[in-house]
Structure 1
């Protein structure tokens, strides 16, 4: 017999409805960071649910980084300010279960970082340019000292660029994507036989980018950033997926 095939429906648990309503109140601004939810007892009355249902909902909200609930606290759970930790956790989970490939993550980082440097070239202050210069100087010193601190100095450079872009969402996303990508390939980077040569090449790339930023040439700075990221990461991406990265090159 023809016709559509339907899947069994999933019963929605009471605690999920509690979570949905509280999330909507936070997202809609009815509940703001620093405010407290009603007490457990009051939530039981308002939602007409059991104490165990309220506590399960609070556990979920806390796991998502939306509230902080202390056992035995007579007051209601505190609404927390937005944190990139929740975004980091979600994207890390996606990467771990292969919903996001390394190629997609690297491609997204190429887009983000090149956009950040384009904005930085046009909007940066002299102080922010000096921060980028200082980060590269520290990168060079780290190579001379054995390279242990090179990664941290490189992060400082990209953080300075993200701040100079003036866009908080770019700052958050670049930090999250960078850390996930590095987590995925950290062992391969550590085992690279030509580590020092790669670090020196990275410094040259950074110096070229800073020169473009100094003259306000955003398109050049962005193009150099995409190329340098391709040069650094393409070798870690399966050959069949590298076309996705090359599509961003000019």
Structure 2
């Protein structure tokens, strides 16, 4: 018999339905940050479930950063404002369970940083240029100090560029992806025999990017950013994932 092929039906637990409805209410604006859900007892009545089911749903919602819940709180769980911490946790979990490869993360960072540089070249202020200058000066000073100080100055540069893009989502995603990538490779970089050479090469790349941003040349700043990421991380990415990175250079 021909016809459509159906997938097995997934059994949905009661607490998952509660989570779905609360998430929908938050996404639609029916529940806003600072507002409170009904008490546990009222939720039990509204959803016709047990107290343990309600508490499991609240535990999941809190783990996702959507509410802050205290067992037995008569005022109900409080809806939380959006936090990058929730996004960071989700992406970190995906990376740890191998749903996101290092190649995919680096590729996404190449896209994000290039976009930030493109926008920064058009929108940056003199104060933000000064912040980028100061960050590179910090990188130079940190070469003799150690990798941790160098990495902090490097992050300060990219944070300044991201702020200059005037796009909050780029700022959040850049911070999240960068920290995950660095968490995966920082140990290898810190232990590299040619670490000082790598740091000096990185400084040269950053100086080129800053010159393009200062000149207002967005396309050049974006292209240099992609090349910098490619050169810096290629050796840490598995061989079979490298073509995807090269595709962003073409």
Interval of TM-score (by shorter of Structure 1 and Structure 2): over 0.9
Structure 2 unaligned regions, length at least 5:
none
Cα distance in structure 2, aligned partners of 1:178 and 1:155: 9
Partner of 2:78: 78
Partner of 1:220: 220
Equivalent residues in 2 for 1:54-133, closer than 5 Å: 54-133=54-133
1:156 correspondence with 2:156: yes
1:33 correspondence with 2:66: no
**Higher alpha-carbon deviation: 109-118 or 86-95:** 86-95
Cα distance in structure 2, aligned partners of 1:21 and 1:133: 48
Partner of 1:19: 19
1:70 alignment partner, SS class: coil
The answer to whether the Cα contact below 8 Å between 2:147 and 2:190 also exists between their aligned partners in 1 is no
2:10 alignment partner, SS class: coil
Structure 1 unaligned regions, length at least 5:
none
Cα distance in structure 1, aligned partners of 2:145 and 2:7: 61
Q: Deviations over 1:97-138 (max 9, x none)?
A: 222211111111001001100000000111111111111111
Cα distance in structure 2, aligned partners of 1:134 and 1:245: 30
The answer to whether the Cα contact below 8 Å between 2:39 and 2:73 also exists between their aligned partners in 1 is no
Q: Deviations over 1:27-55 (max 9, x none)?
A: 00010011111111111121121111111
Q: Could you tell me how far 1:73 is from its partner in structure 2?
A: 2.2
TM-score when normalising by structure 1: 0.95
Cα distance in structure 2, aligned partners of 1:223 and 1:213: 11
CA RMSD of the aligned region, Å?
1.6
